[in-house]
């Protein structure tokens, strides 16, 4: 049921783009003027090639720290090949990179504590993922259907591997799980043949 919901949401992405987002150097942000923080959000024309997210941005004379990658921010960006996530980011939202078929490698910095539901689901070309030491758990299906993923090293900070976190990672041949992990969810590695 969740899979069908996700597919419907991806189809509706152009309809839910945030009208209040501002574009700064090719990246769209939702700005919080009170907290002086910025959240990366959807680009109505989609992101492509290599995307380098800065640690901070300036808009109308004010500086904002980039602290999160919002829900569906890069979802369906078929031509995006890589993304650089700065140490200022603490949260990666639900379906943030869903179906980014061209994405090959991701390094999640130590500052990130939360990876949302299906954040990297269907990143079929993803071969390498480095998960930073700040992550304690991931949302369900965070890396599911990443057919090209061959190895995973779970950081010492992680205590829970969520339900279906790496299911259908059919090329997976090596997983390193530290002693800190106390819970592995149902189907976490199902169909990793």
Q: One digit per residue, pLDDT tens: the chain, 193 residues?
A: 555 444 445 444 444 444 589 999 999 999 999 999 999 999 999 999 999 999 999 999 999 999 999 999 999 999 999 999 999 999 999 999 999 999 998 999 999 999 999 999 999 999 988 899 999 989 999 999 999 999 998 999 999 999 999 999 999 999 999 999 999 999 999 999 9
Q: What is the radius of gyration, based on Cα positions, of the chain?
A: 16
Fold classification of 2-12+22-184 is: 3.80.10
User: For residue 115, what are its two tokens?
Assistant: 């990876």
User: For residue 34, what are its two tokens?
Assistant: 């009170």
Residue in the block written with tokens 């024309």 = 45
Tell me the C-alpha to C-alpha distance, in Å, between residue 92 and each of 61, 97, 185.
27, 9, 20
Q: Nearest-CA neighbor of 28 among 10, 16, 45?
A: 45
- Whether this model's pTM surpasses 0.85: yes
């Amino acid at each position: 049921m969740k899979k069908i919901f996700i597919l419907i949401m991806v189809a509706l992405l152009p309809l839910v783009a945030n009208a209040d987002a501002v574009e700064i150097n090719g990246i769209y942000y939702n700005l919080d003027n009170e907290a002086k923080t910025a959240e990366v959000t959807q680009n109505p024309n989609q992101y492509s090639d290599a995307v380098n997210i800065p640690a901070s941005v300036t808009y109308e004379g004010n500086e904002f720290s980039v602290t999160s990658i919002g829900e569906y921010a890069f979802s369906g960006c078929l031509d995006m090949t890589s993304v650089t996530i700065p140490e200022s980011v603490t949260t990666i939202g639900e379906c943030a990179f869903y179906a980014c078929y061209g994405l090959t490698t991701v390094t999640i910095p130590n500052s990130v504590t939360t990876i949302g539901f299906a954040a990297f689901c269907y990143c079929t070309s993803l071969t390498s993922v480095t998960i930073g030491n700040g992550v304690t758990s991931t949302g369900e299906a965070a890396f599911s259907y990443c057919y090209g993923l061959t190895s995973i090293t779970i950081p010492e900070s992680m205590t829970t591997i969520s339900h279906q976190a790496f299911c259908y990672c059919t090329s997976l041949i090596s997983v390193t799980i530290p002693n800190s992990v106390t819970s592995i969810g149902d189907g976490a590695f199902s169909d990793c043949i």
